[in-house]
């Protein structure tokens, strides 16, 4: 399936009675009424003098009315599904009086969403662009379907501002629908997110290719979509990493130029970073319609490889690494202007032989491809909703940081668009670490920290560990 298509049943006492009545009336309008018309016409043809015109016309009109009414009633009674797609909402006929007789509501018309209560019945109020609003009642929708409807608004209604009241209710619903291993219906959106992260394949460079007249490609480290990472060697024999990003020819000149401008500006900022816990960015350049960032080559094992080989880490190690990584991210966020990593994950943190951690592989090239093609590139399990909408902020790195801690403590990637609780998968996880991860992976960015606290201060307060000074 290319994308999620939801069909949410809308059923209450009235709709159930309507369906029962439709079934009860079916023999009348579908069989008896047509039979009555046929018999009347046959009788008129055989005995025209016996049947008065007024009577026969009345019988035929009543039978026709019965057929039309029965067909309409059945259509209304059977149409009891709210259809949800990435284009918008399609409301059933039975619900039209409650939604202002709006049959189809595209997402781009929705500018705000709120939770309203009337007579202890909850509704989602969708405010429309220009004027008007539509109330979608929750009382006659199953709780699991309410969760998916709220997720659809979060993921697909890009221009919609959700109120804190609605967000709090969404969290309440998701907590209530958590099933085995604490996984709610959020996991059903993984395929939809995978679609967002898929790009058309391109041909990566082969070993032996030369970049910038002096950098020889030793081997491919990884590739996929319109990006690749290579181990390269300069004329002096020093190894470096080249991260490549390619924009397809189908992208318009204006969009390409804008993305190129942003790429050059961000890459220039990255070359100024000097921190022992961050891989150096040496250079950026374009060659043959491909764009490159040249990074320091860090030998070692990344945290994903470490966990895959040795299993989940203990609480003490996780706390130590959390403090160290928080200090590194705070350093980036305190730059002027602040630098958002955008691709923080276990794959991009190297564990050195001396036990120190080094952050590598900035998401600038991924962002470059995303901005130009409109197709998200990156690791969906570690990206918050606002980053999926193309609005990454400092607190987006907090979400990725929380997802990384979840992986370290459990050995499993977090569920996309979900608040993570590693203690549900590993009961040896301390309550303090579990609460920290849950806070960092909150859906809304503002809930991931507290006023006046940076990431390191938050980690220190939650875990009681001392972090290094920036």
* Higher-scoring residue by pLDDT: 176, 219: 219
Tell me the pLDDT tens digit for each residue of 35-91. 777 777 777 777 776 767 776 777 778 778 777 777 776 666 666 677 787 788 887
**What would the mean pLDDT of 177-186 be, rounded to a whole number?**
50
Is the pLDDT reported for residue 470 higher than 60? Answer: no
Burial zone of 163 (CB within 10 Å; 0-12 exposed, 13-18 middle, 19+ buried):
middle
Is the pLDDT reported for residue 138 higher than 60? Answer: yes
Tell me the pLDDT tens digit for each residue of 447-460. 998 866 889 998 98
State whether residue 223 is helix, strand or coil.
strand
Question: 134 is written with which tokens?
Answer: 């539509």
Which pLDDT does position 142 carry in this prediction?
Answer: 77
* Higher-scoring residue by pLDDT: 271, 186: 271
Question: How many Å apart are CA 317 and CA 430, to the nearest integer?
Answer: 12
Question: How many Å apart are CA 152 and CA 126, to the nearest integer?
Answer: 13
Question: How many Å apart are CA 28 and CA 7, to the nearest integer?
Answer: 30
Cα of first residue to Cα of last residue in the chain, in angstroms, is 47
CA distance to 6, 153, 241, 443, per residue, from 104 (Å): 14, 15, 50, 28
Is the pLDDT reported for residue 156 higher than 70? Answer: yes
**What would the mean pLDDT of 394-401 be, rounded to a whole number?**
92
Is the pLDDT reported for residue 220 higher than 70? Answer: yes
Domain boundaries, the chain: 6-78, 86-196, 210-463
**What would the mean pLDDT of 131-159 be, rounded to a whole number?**
78
What's the chain's average pLDDT? 77
Cα 171-405-279 angle, rounded to 5 deg? 130
Percentage of residues in the chain having pLDDT higher than 90: 16
**What would the mean pLDDT of 380-400 be, rounded to a whole number?**
84
For the domain with range 210-463, which CATH number is right: 3.40.50.300, 1.10.510.10, 2.60.120.620, 3.90.550.10? 1.10.510.10
Which pLDDT does position 368 carry in this prediction?
Answer: 42
Which pLDDT does position 100 carry in this prediction?
Answer: 67
Pick the range with the lowest mean pLDDT from 201-215, 323-337, 343-357.
Answer: 201-215
In sequence order, the β-bridge partners of residue 82 are: 8
Which pLDDT does position 200 carry in this prediction?
Answer: 45
Of the candidates 323, 410, 459, the one whose C-alpha atom is nearest the C-alpha of residue 448 is 459
* Higher-scoring residue by pLDDT: 181, 50: 50
Question: How many Å apart are CA 433 and CA 436, to the nearest integer?
Answer: 5
Pick the range with the lowest mean pLDDT from 96-100, 112-116, 310-314, 451-455.
Answer: 96-100
Is the pLDDT reported for residue 367 higher than 60? Answer: no
**What would the mean pLDDT of 196-220 be, rounded to a whole number?**
73
Is the pLDDT reported for residue 14 higher than 90? Answer: no
**What would the mean pLDDT of 418-435 be, rounded to a whole number?**
93
Confidence of residue 383 (pLDDT cuts 50, 70, 90): confident
Q: Under 8 Å CB-to-CB from 252, ≥6 apart: which residues?
A: none
For 27, phi then psi, to 5°, come to -60, -30
Whether domain 86-196 has CATH 2.30.29: yes
Tell me the pLDDT tens digit for each residue of 240-291. 888 887 766 656 677 667 767 767 777 777 788 889 998 888 888 888 778 8
């Amino acid at each position: 399936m290319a994308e999620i298509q939801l069909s949410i049943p809308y059923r209450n006492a009235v709709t159930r009675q309507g369906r029962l009545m439709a079934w009860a009336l079916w023999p009348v309008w579908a069989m008896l009424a047509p039979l009555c018309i046929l018999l009347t016409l046959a009788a008129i043809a055989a005995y025209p003098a016996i049947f008065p015109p007024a009577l026969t016309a009345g019988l035929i009109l009543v039978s026709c009315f019965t057929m039309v009414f029965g067909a309409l009633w059945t259509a209304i009674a059977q149409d009891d599904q709210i259809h949800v797609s990435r284009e918008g909402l399609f409301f059933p006929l039975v619900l039209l009086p409650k939604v202002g007789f709006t049959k189809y509501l595209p997402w781009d018309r929705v500018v705000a969403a709120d939770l309203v209560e009337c007579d202890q019945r909850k509704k989602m109020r969708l405010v429309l662009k220009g004027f008007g609003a539509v109330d979608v009642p929750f009382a006659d929708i199953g709780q699991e379907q309410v969760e998916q409807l709220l997720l659809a608004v979060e993921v697909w209604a890009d221009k919609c501002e959700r109120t804190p009241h609605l967000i709090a209710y969404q969290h309440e619903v998701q907590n209530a629908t958590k099933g085995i291993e604490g996984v709610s219906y959020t996991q059903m959106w993984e395929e939809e997110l995978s679609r967002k992260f898929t790009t058309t394949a391109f041909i990566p460079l082969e070993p032996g290719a030369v970049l910038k007249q002096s950098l020889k490609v030793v081997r491919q480290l990884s590739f996929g979509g319109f990006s690749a990472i290579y181990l390269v060697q300069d004329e002096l024999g020093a190894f470096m990493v080249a991260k490549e990003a390619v924009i397809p020819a189908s992208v318009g000149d204006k969009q390409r130029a804008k993305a190129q401008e942003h790429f050059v500006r961000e890459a220039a900022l990255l070359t100024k970073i000097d921190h022992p816990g961050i891989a150096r960015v040496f250079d950026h350049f374009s060659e043959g319609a491909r764009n490159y960032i040249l990074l320091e080559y860090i030998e070692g094992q990344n945290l994903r490889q470490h966990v895959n080989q040795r299993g989940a880490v203990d609480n003490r190690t996780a706390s130590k690494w959390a403090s160290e990584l928080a200090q590194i991210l705070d350093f980036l966020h305190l730059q002027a202007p602040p630098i958002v990593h955008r691709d923080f994950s276990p794959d991009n943190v190297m564990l050195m032989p001396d036990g120190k951690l080094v952050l590598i592989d900035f998401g600038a090239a991924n962002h470059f491809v995303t901005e130009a093609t409109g197709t998200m590139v990156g690791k969906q399990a570690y990206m918050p909703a606002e980053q999926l909408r193309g609005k990454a902020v400092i607190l987006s790195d907090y979400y990725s940081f929380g997802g990384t801690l979840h992986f370290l403590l459990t050995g499993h990637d977090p569920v996309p668009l979900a608040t993570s609780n590693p203690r549900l998968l590993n009961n040896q996880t301390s309550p303090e670490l579990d609460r920290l991860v849950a806070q960092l992976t909150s859906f809304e960015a503002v809930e991931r920290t507290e006023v006046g606290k940076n990431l390191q201060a938050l980690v220190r307060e939650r875990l009681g560990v001392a972090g290094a000074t920036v």
